[in-house]
Amino acid sequence: MTRPLHSLPEHLQQNSTPLSVLLIGAGGNGSELYDGLVRLHQAMIALGGTGLAVTVIDDDEVSPSNIVRQRFWPHEIGTNKAVALVQRTNCMIGTNWSALPIRYTGQNLGSVDLVITAVDNREVRKQVVATASTHSRTLWLDLGCEGDCGQVVLGRLADRQLDDPWPNAVAHFPDLMSGQDNNRPSCSAADSLSRQDLMINATVAGAAVNLLWKTLRTGTAPYNGVMIDLSEGRQQAIPFMPAQAA
């Protein structure tokens, strides 16, 4: 058996138009990832590309408990999270990115090259996967974490089996689509830190941006995802399944 090359489709390797990205969730993982997307955009521009065209969707507002673990500042308390992030970037570096201060539904996906789910919500993942029949070429980057562990998977919406060319998060972790969500809001930063490690969101987001960077920079994905365990200081790549010998 040989390990196949996982090259990006040609329409994602051309530089004539920005790569369109929909980021679902602007909380712990999402706000950290957003900062990485800004750096990725600037790096692509510096290398002669057209960068990213990012839309962020989130219906939540910045609360005082968000200030420690999420990428917000005290003056943004009460502001919608998506709006706060996008306004900051548009003003500082002149992007023309968009914010949707609403809850995600499958109808919001639109025509994008890459959808990113940065919210541990099974219903959102179900809604994203449900669009696969009409967005079969769309790449899907999923981030998840709990406590001091997390995972990142870069796949394709339509590829729900491990032997598919670009297995997505559901292929690797079927339980992401079942069970109950625990979305209890934090009453304080201390309460939030008691449930999730201070650095888990930054570590997961960093692994996700690094995988995106390597894939977009070279046109080939070096691995399918990353497993992270901060309790033991480990990051382990999730390889693509080897191709079956003819």
Report the C-alpha gap between 56 and 108 in whole angstroms.
Answer: 11
Residue % of the chain over a pLDDT of 70 = 89
Check pLDDT > 60 for residue 35: yes
Q: How many CB atoms lie within 10 A of CB 194?
A: 9
Asked whether residue 8 is domain-assigned, the answer is no
Specify the number of domains making up the chain: 1
Confidence of residue 245 (pLDDT cuts 50, 70, 90): very low
How much is the pLDDT for 246?
29
Q: Is the model's pTM score more than 0.85? A: yes
CATH classification of the domain holding 104? 3.40.50.720
Query: Which residue, among 139, 143, 154, has the nearest Cα to 117 in the 3D structure?
Result: 143
- For residues 53 and 197, the model is more confident at 53
Residue 243 lies in a domain: no
- Write out pLDDT tens, residues 162-204: 999 999 999 999 998 875 555 555 444 454 555 677 899 999 9
Are residues 140 and 155 in contact, defined by beta-carbon separation less than 8 angstroms?
yes
User: Is 6 part of a structural domain of the chain?
Assistant: no
Q: With H, G, I as helix, E, B as strand and everything else as coil, classify residue 114.
A: strand
Residue 159 Cα to chain centre, angstroms: 17
